[in-house]
Amino acid sequence: MATLSAELLPADRDRFSMLIRYLAKWFVFADPPYHTRARMLVNKAFSPTSAERLRPRTRAIVDDLLAEVRARGSMDFVGAFAQHLPVMVIAESMGVPVEHRMMIKEWSEEISGLFFIKANEPDRRERSQKGLAQLVDYLAPLVRERRAHPTDDLISALVLAEERGDLLSEEEVLATCTLLLFAGHESTTFTLVNGLLALLRHPDQWNRLRSDPALAKGAAEEILRYDGTVKATFRSIKETVVMGGKTLESGQRALLVLASANRDPAKFTDPDRFDISRSPNPHLAFGNGIHICLGAPLARVELQETFLALASTLPGLRLATDDIEYQITIVNRAATALPVEWQP
């Protein structure tokens, strides 16, 4: 990642060389042509059509997770549900054993400190590099195994592409796997949480969804607009441009505040109102342009299936507290817990 390298002192560049090297191979941070080469290898697996094929399996995982808690009458939605579903879906697609998901989550959490800018963690770069190294060490044998015995999972697809045309080096394959595994669940987890919070804080909207499941699609879009977890993304300015009367100089960095665009009164009528039937809803929660979120179609399926299931299987679902604590980060908004209760 050029920006990480640029912000570090030379001595730190040595210290964080592994982190810099791998993140430069995350296509989300790369420019074409590498970006396009790497992304196109996995694009089909994340297309809307592919995401639809994962809908029945996603629904089954949702039902299993809810079946485990239903009789209890209460749960922490983060700990009992939201931190499991997305990592299970992405791990299964990739061919990573789902029973290792808590380990994967721990390393991802460490990695995330760098991007989400944990304000209270001055050692976030060290922790991010360590988390990434652990994830790479974990994935390397899986990648070797798929090279010897390919299956129909995503890791195999990447390995086969590598062998077919020397499209990606071994390190690029590993970097891409870490990217997919990491980016494939963190933000979905917290958008599920923010979404349930928004729905339960707007009982009129929650009741509309309960009585009309066809609103699930619109509800997912409105959740993304209203409180999608990724509030901003970074860009490095490559060429000086004038935008909105301001000059952005080559070499500067810009923070694109998606959350602000999503409440733009010029684009959205009554932007602070949460309305699950809002249409059109051209929100930017997944970004825009060549770096638009690869996993958007899959995240949509996960959001839709989760809220449909919650609406139909947990009667009287409500917040158990109004006192919600958030992680102290700059670019994402993530509740640390979401206690809810219902009639078992």
Partner 1 sequence: MRALVVIEIDRDACVGSSVCVALAGEVFRLDSTGVSAVKNPAGASVADILEAAEGCPTMAITVRNVETGGVVFPRELGTGNGERGASP
Q: Which residues bind partner 1 (CB under 8 A)?
A: 36, 39-40, 43-44, 46-49, 52, 55, 59, 212-217, 280, 282, 286, 288-290, 292-294, 296-297, 304-305, 308-309, 312
Locus of tokens 């919650």: 310
Q: Say if residues 186 and 108 touch (Cβ distance below 8 Å).
A: yes
Residue number with CB closer to partner 1 (40 or 102): 40
Residue number with CB closer to partner 1 (76 or 305): 305
φ, ψ dihedrals at 280, nearest 5°: -75, 165
Rounded to the nearest whole angstrom, what is the least distance from the CB of residue 324 to partner 1 in the complex?
A: 28
Residue number with CB closer to partner 1 (128 or 191): 191
Residues making up the chain, counted from first to last: 344
Residue number with CB closer to partner 1 (175 or 311): 311
Rounded to the nearest whole angstrom, what is the least distance from the CB of residue 56 to partner 1 in the complex?
A: 9
331/202 Cα distance (integer angstroms)? 25
Rounded to the nearest whole angstrom, what is the least distance from the CB of residue 137 to partner 1 in the complex?
A: 32
Rounded to the nearest whole angstrom, what is the least distance from the CB of residue 198 to partner 1 in the complex?
A: 18
228/215 Cα distance (integer angstroms)? 18
Residue number with CB closer to partner 1 (48 or 251): 48
223/226 Cα distance (integer angstroms)? 5
Rounded to the nearest whole angstrom, what is the least distance from the CB of residue 273 to partner 1 in the complex?
A: 22
Residue number with CB closer to partner 1 (10 or 33): 33
Residue number with CB closer to partner 1 (63 or 126): 63
Interior angle at CA 258, CA 308 and CA 208, nearest 5 = 25
Rounded to the nearest whole angstrom, what is the least distance from the CB of residue 149 to partner 1 in the complex?
A: 27
Rounded to the nearest whole angstrom, what is the least distance from the CB of residue 21 to partner 1 in the complex?
A: 25
Burial of 272 (0-12, 13-18, 19+ CB in 10 A): exposed
φ, ψ dihedrals at 231, nearest 5°: -85, -20
Helix (H/G/I), strand (E/B), else coil: 246: strand
- Residue 253 β-bridge partners: 236
Q: Say if residues 258 and 228 touch (Cβ distance below 8 Å).
A: yes
250/241 Cα distance (integer angstroms)? 8
